Amino acid sequence: MERYLTPNEQQQLLNAAYRVNDPLAQRDYHIMAALLHSGCRITEFSLITLGDTFDALKTGYLFIPRENRKGGKRDHKVFVTKALRLHLVALINLNGSQLSSDPLVPGRFGQPLTVRNYQQRIRYWAKEACR
């Protein structure tokens, strides 16, 4: 079983959310694009705070501490490309908070969006892309 998307499938997925003029769809578009450009796992991405993002935009590297990584053996740095920078800035702008300890993508009660919610949103857009 293949567990990756071809470049064409990636573009179809992103276009499905990009075409919809809705704040939630735009948030999902930027999340999916940031995941694709960063190569982060959903769990790693869900634990990124606004402070982590501000630091990444300053230094050019998104720092993922070992306790947020699968296996927890090593810290990791993700190079912030122009494309990734664009989506991180958009997610900051969509976030109502400016506290560095708050999650980059908050859920309903200010906690980080859960991994299950990420999965459900991506599954929704995958179905929309296939229509």
The domain made up of 7-129 is a member of CATH 3.40.50.970: no
The pLDDT tens digits of the residues spanning 11-53 come to 999 999 999 999 999 999 999 999 999 999 999 999 999 999 9
Residue 104, phi-psi category: left (phi > 0), alpha (psi -120 to 50), beta (remainder): alpha
Question: In this structure, how many other beta carbons lie within 10 angstroms of the beta carbon of residue 75?
Answer: 12
- The model's pTM is 0.92
> What is the Cα–Cα distance from 107 to 104, expressed in whole angstroms?
10
Please give the residue that has the higher pLDDT: either 5 or 85.
Answer: 85
pLDDT for residue 1 is more than 70: no
Question: In this structure, how many other beta carbons lie within 10 angstroms of the beta carbon of residue 52?
Answer: 20
The pLDDT tens digits of the residues spanning 88-99 come to 999 999 998 878
